[in-house]
Amino acid sequence: MRKDGTRSGESLQALPKAEVHVHLEGCFESATLESWARQAGVPMPRPHERLFSFESLADMLEFLDWACGLASTRDRLAELAYGFCRRLAADGTGYADLIINPKHWAPWQGRTRELIEALDAGFTAAAQDGLPPVGLCVSLLRTQSSDEAVELVENLIAWRHPRVVALSVDGNEAAAGRTGPRFAEAFRRAAAAGLRRTVHAGESSGPEGVRDAVELLGADRIDHGVRAVEDDRVVALLAERGIPLGVCPTSNLTLKLYPSIEAHPIDRLRKAGVRVSVNTDDPSLLATNLPAEYELAAAAFGWSDEIMRDVARTSIDASFANADVKAHLKSALADWQS
C-alpha cells in the first residue's frame, strides 16, 4: 500500500484471485494481428494507432470476427492459448474461466472440436511450464437458433472434453432481442449433463435479461449483470440465490453504460448483498489488466483490504475451477497483505 493509502499495482498483482469473465477474442495483441494480416494479405480495418478504437459494441464484435479469422491454423490457436496463460501470470491470476465463441472463428466453422483441441494443446503446454490453469466456457451467439444451440450442447456432451467447463451465451442483447426462451432447452440439457452455465445479461439488456438468465437459463453465474441495479426485485433475486456477477468496470465505461466509475453500480450491488467479482472482459481491446480493474474500483469506492479479499474470494468461489485449485487460491488469499 502506498503512503496515501491507495494500493500499488504490485500489491494488487500479488492478490490471489481468479478471473471469470474474459474472452479469448479480446486478448489479441496488435503486433500479432498485424503480422498475421500481412502474411495473409488481408487489409487492416483501421490504422495501427487506432486498431483497438471502437464506436460501439457492434463495432467491437465486427472487429473480433476479423481478428479471429486470422487465427487459421492449429499453431496460431495454441500460440493464443499459451499467450493467454502468460497474461494470467503477469496479472497474478491463479485461474481463469475463458469464454470462446465458435461463431467468431470463421476458419473453424464446422470444426469446433478441432478448435477446442488446438486451444487445449496451448493450455496444456502452458500448465507444463508452470503457468496458471484455464477452463473453457464455450459460448452461443445470441443470433443462433434454438436448434443450433441444442446441437452445440449435444456435441459438447458427446465430446466430454475435460477442458470445457461451461456453456455460455454472449453477443449484443439489444440487437438480438429477448433470447432466454430460445436457449432454455439447450441450457436445460447442459445442466442435466453436468455442464455449468454462465450467461451474458444486464449489459445491453436491462434487468429483465438478468431475470431470464436466472429463471429460464439456470445461470450459475452472470457475465456483467450490472443493470440488475435498475430493478430492486432482480437485485433481491441475485442476493437470495447467491448468484455471482462477473463485472467488468472498464468495459462498461468504454461502451458508455455509465459516465464514470463513480456512477458504476458495482459497489451498490455489493452492498445490497450481491456477490460481485472484478474482471477485464476484453483486456487487449480495452487496454487494461486485472490489477488495474481492482485498483480502479478500490480507489473509486474506498474498498478496504477486507472488501478486496471478499471480492477476490468471490472470484475464486464463482469460478469453475476444481476443488484443489480453489483451495490453493483461498489459502494464499488468507495470507495476502496489501
Return phi, psi of residue 93, to 5°: -95, 130
Percent of the chain with pLDDT over 70: 97
Banded pLDDT at 338 (limits 50, 70, 90): confident
Dump pLDDT digits (tens) for 11-33. 899 999 999 999 999 999 998 99
Distance CA 222, CA 276 (A): 10
3: pLDDT strictly greater than 50: no
Is residue 28 included in any domain, yes or no?
Answer: yes
The DSSP bridge partners found for residue 168 are 139, 198
At what angle are helices 146-159 and 112-128 packed, to 10 degrees? Answer: 50
Is 337 inside any structural domain?
A: no
pLDDT in tens, 173-207: 777 888 899 999 999 999 999 999 999 999 989 99
pLDDT digits (tens, 9 = 90+) for 212-242: 999 999 999 999 999 999 999 999 999 999 9
Tell whether the model's pLDDT for residue 5 goes beyond 70: no
262 tagged catalytic? no
46 within a domain of the structure (yes/no): yes
For 320, the grid coordinates are 469453475
- 338 falls within a domain: no
Quote the domain boundaries for residue 303: 18-318
**Poorest-pLDDT segment among 4-18, 29-43, 72-86, 243-257:** 4-18
Average pLDDT over residues 130-150: 97
Looking at the structure of the chain, the number of domains it has is 1
Cβ neighbors of 116 (< 8 A, separation 6 or more) are 136, 138, 159, 161, 163, 164
User: Choosing from 19, 25, 173, 203, which is the catalytic residue?
Assistant: 203
Please report the DSSP string for 303-323 in residue order. --HHHHHHHHHHHHHHS---H
Q: What is the pTM of this model?
A: 0.94
Residue 324 lies in a domain: no
pLDDT tens readout for residues 64-102: 889 999 999 999 999 999 999 999 999 999 999 999 999
Does residue 10 belong to any structural domain of this protein? Answer: no
Residue closest to 17 by CA, chosen among 82, 84, 92, 85: 92
For residue 252, the domain's CATH number is 3.20.20.140
Instruction: Find the mean pLDDT for residues 321-329.
Output: 98
The Cα 249–Cα 270 span in angstroms is 14
- 99 found inside a domain: yes
Residue 2: band (very low, low, confident or very high) from pLDDT cuts 50, 70, 90: low
Domain assignment of residue 331, yes or no: no
Neighbours of 317 (CB within 10 A): 17
